[in-house]
Amino acid sequence: MKKKMTPRQRTEAIWGLCLIAPTIIGLLILNYYPIFETVWQSLCKTGDFGKGNTFIGLTNFINLFQDKEVFSTLFNSFKYAVLSLPLTIFISLVLAVLMNRKMHGRTVYRTIYFLPMVCAPAAIAMVWKWMFNQDYGLLNHLIGTKISWVTDPTIALIAIVVVGVWSGIGNNMILFLGGLQDIPKDYYEAASVDGSTGIHTFFHITIPLLSPTIFFVVQTGVMGALNLFDLPYMIMDQSSRAWPSVKTITYLFYEYAFERSNRGYGAAIIMFLIAIISIITVILQKSEKKWVHYN
Amino acid sequence: MGWDAKKRLTSTVVHLFLILGSICMITPFAWMILTAFKTKSEAISVNPFYIFPASGWHFENFVEVWNSYNFVVLYKNTLIMIALRVLCACLTATLAGYAFGRLRFPFKNFFFAIILVQMMVPGQIYIIPQYLIVSRLHMMNTQFALLLPGAVTAFGTYLCKQGYQTLPASLEEAAELDGCNIGQRFLLIMLPLTRSSLVSLGIFTALFAYKDLMWPMIVCPQTNATTLTAALSRLQGQFVSNYPQIMAGAVMAVVPMLIIYLIFQKQFVEGIATTGGKL
């Protein structure tokens, strides 16, 4: 049982509660109430502006599981994740290892690789759309091809992946650099005394000790990929025949909730996506014990 | 080969590799800027020697885009949104972070669970109801609408709490003996010491607000009420295939942030390293 508080404890309690009040009240209104409303809406046929919701039970979900587009867009989001994540991680890891030494121009390189991080993805997308242009784009110009990067359904997703990787390596490189600098020098000294060199050291010392950072990058990367919206939206023409092959599930949600004003179905899509994300999170957490080493 | 020569060779190879990568990173930016100064016919000329604007540098593209999209208003909207979000987020987060990190109060664990759960739930679940809040309050196309989802931050509170927790208890005990109350201790002693996590949170919040596309598109569809990022999606629709003008718009949207970044790059990089850059 709690004893009566001393005046000093009471003052502290009042201060504490007052200081957290803005954040807690804000979160309750802006985040907790919305969770329940989204769940409720996913069970409703919604009218405009949230008025006139009629409860229809699981109808939205039954429709959703028969909706081919839900699965094709989810598949696109997955494909994007599977293609872009390993590439981003590999390139940024190599860059981080190369830059993890005393060298001239380190800051300059870091600044350059980080540039896309401070640009709006919408602007980046516009620039790349122009670079991808079939007739006049710089890319075809340089390689001397006539590839229709963003209008060919088979390679449009590759184009999006290229932009995603290009914009993401700076961020991950910084995270890896931070992780590399936390590895104590003694490990490397001990390894080199034991006669370990280059590649061997990299795989047996660097990678295991960097695994918490790699895990973090994988986790946020998967979430980021499943939330992908602005890059495909800005790079692709929504009327293009390649659009169905890059349309992401987050875009499908946006389309139903805000363009077709079918918020109930939009809410159901989000609930579905969140279920998928939860499953992936659980799998990742389970796998964490197997390959992530915390000292 | 001597040890020194070998080292020099490695260093040269590393530099070559990094320079090659740098070129890949810079090329799109260079191409964006160069295209923005061309005429339309120069931009679509197939002649590879037209990398630079051939008939002089054309500023008309900027003037035209600037005039048809009220860029003064767009800059103003974006700046106010970023300022309000950074101010609100840093203020509420540092207050709550101090309480969670240093004070004892009833139901502390329960309240902290509210913070943690919000961080774990994927963000899209909030969007429809948040939009409905804005529209029911008749606040569409306002600064209020742009600020709303970023007014408080669970992640920022967590970050600030970590900052306060690492400070030694003796600091506060000494101040308490000197007769400081909790408010004074917080403001005069603890808050200044967590400046670096606040700067990180500020940069993170500013970048997130600046880059977000979906929210401003939903709640501020009017061109004179929206942000730079959301205006770009309109601009692309209007100047279809007039690439110099589209690029001029893109340049105007990214340059201010690029300049801020180049000045404060140390803080930006530290900010990403501490927040994980979960944009």
Q: What is the pLDDT of residues A27-72, one digit of tens each?
A: 999 999 999 999 999 999 887 655 678 888 899 999 999 999 999 9
Q: Which residue of B has its CA nearest to A249?
A: B124
Q: Of B197, B220, B172, give the one whose Cα is nearest residue B93.
A: B197
Contacts with B247 from chain A: Cβ below 8 Å: 126-127, 130
Contacts with B130 from chain A: Cβ below 8 Å: 30, 34
Domain with A17, as residue range(s), is 7-59
Asked if residue A27 belongs to a domain, the reply is yes
Q: Which residue of B has its CA nearest to A181?
A: B273
Nearest to A22 among B92, B233, B253 (CB): B92
**DSSP helix/strand/coil, A267:** helix
Same-domain check for residues A73 and A44? no
- Are B268 and A38 inside 8 Å of each other by CB? no
Q: What is the pLDDT of residues A201-240, one digit of tens each?
A: 888 888 888 999 999 999 989 988 999 999 999 999 888 8
Same-domain check for residues A39 and A166? no
- Are A12 and B98 inside 8 Å of each other by CB? no
CATH, residue A109: 1.10.3720.10
The neighbouring-strand residues paired with A45 are A54
pLDDT for res B250: 94
pLDDT for res A1: 43
pLDDT for res B279: 44
Is the pLDDT at B50 greater than 80, yes or no?
Answer: no
Same-domain check for residues A49 and A170? no
Give A60 or A190, the one with higher predicted confidence.
A60
| Window 117-146 of B, Cβ < 8 Å to A | 118, 121-133, 135-136
Same-domain check for residues A78 and A223? yes
Contacts with A126 from chain B: Cβ below 8 Å: 232, 236, 246-247, 249-250
Asked if residue A215 belongs to a domain, the reply is yes
Is the pLDDT at B278 greater than 60, yes or no?
Answer: no
Q: What is the pLDDT of residues A161-174, one digit of tens each?
A: 999 999 999 999 99
pLDDT for res B277: 57
Q: Measured on CA atoms in the order B235, B237, B239, B245, is the torsion positive or negative?
A: positive
Upper half-sphere CA count for residue A59 (Cβ side, 13 Å): 11
- Are A27 and B108 inside 8 Å of each other by CB? no
Task: Look up residue A154 and give its two tokens.
Answer: 């088979």
Q: Which residue of B has its CA nearest to A264?
A: B128
Q: How confident is the model at residue B47 (pLDDT cuts 50, 70, 90)?
A: low
Asked if residue A99 belongs to a domain, the reply is yes
Is the pLDDT at A137 greater than 70, yes or no?
Answer: yes
The neighbouring-strand residues paired with B265 are none
Contacts with A274 from chain B: Cβ below 8 Å: 121-122, 124-125
- Going by C-beta distance under 8 Å and a sequence separation of 6 or more, which residues neighbour residue B143? B77, B80, B81, B84
A261 and A45 in contact (C-beta within 8 Å)?
no
Same-domain check for residues A170 and A42? no
Gap from A174 CA to chain B (nearest CA, Å): 6
Same-domain check for residues A148 and A45? no
Q: How confident is the model at residue A295 (pLDDT cuts 50, 70, 90)?
A: low
Nearest to B149 among A30, A131, A177 (CB): A30
Mean pLDDT of B210-236: 92
The per-residue pLDDT of chain A, averaged, comes to: 90
Q: Of B262, B261, B145, give the one whose Cα is nearest residue B207.
A: B261
Look up the CATH architecture of domain B63-275: Orthogonal Bundle (1.10)
Q: What dihedral angle (degrees, nearest 10) is formed by the CA atoms of A119, A122, A127, A129? A: 150
Task: Look up residue A66 and give its two tokens.
Answer: 């028969």
Cα–Cα dist B201/B216, whole Å: 21
Q: Does B276 touch chain A (CB under 8 A)?
A: yes
Cα–Cα dist A208/B167, whole Å: 30
Contacts with B113 from chain A: Cβ below 8 Å: none
The neighbouring-strand residues paired with B196 are none
Question: ipTM of the predicted structure?
Answer: 0.91
Q: Of B153, B170, B166, B245, give the one whose Cα is nearest residue B206.
A: B153
Same-domain check for residues A34 and A95? no
Asked if residue A1 belongs to a domain, the reply is no
The neighbouring-strand residues paired with A44 are A55
Q: Which residue of B has its CA nearest to A174?
A: B273
User: How many domains in chain A?
Assistant: 2
**In this predicted structure, which of A22-36, A93-107, B89-103 has the lowest mean pLDDT?**
A93-107
Same-domain check for residues A93 and A200? yes
pTM attached to this predicted model: 0.91
Same-domain check for residues A196 and A92? yes
Same-domain check for residues A241 and A216? yes
pLDDT for res B180: 87
Q: Does B177 touch chain A (CB under 8 A)?
A: no
Contacts with A171 from chain B: Cβ below 8 Å: 272, 277, 279
Contacts with B194 from chain A: Cβ below 8 Å: none
User: What is the interface size between A and B, counted as CB pairs within 8 Å?
Assistant: 267
Q: How confident is the model at residue B127 (pLDDT cuts 50, 70, 90)?
A: very high
Task: Look up residue B184 and give its two tokens.
Answer: 């004074």
Kindly list the distances between the CA atom of residue B198 and the CA atoms of B158, B161, B265, in Å, as whole numbers in the listed order: 11, 11, 16
Number of residues assigned to chain A: 295
What is the three-state SS of A138-198? HHHHHHCCCCCCCCCCCCHHHHHHHHHHHHHHHHHHHHHHHHHHHCCHHHHHHHHHCCCCH
Contacts with A31 from chain B: Cβ below 8 Å: 118, 121, 126, 154
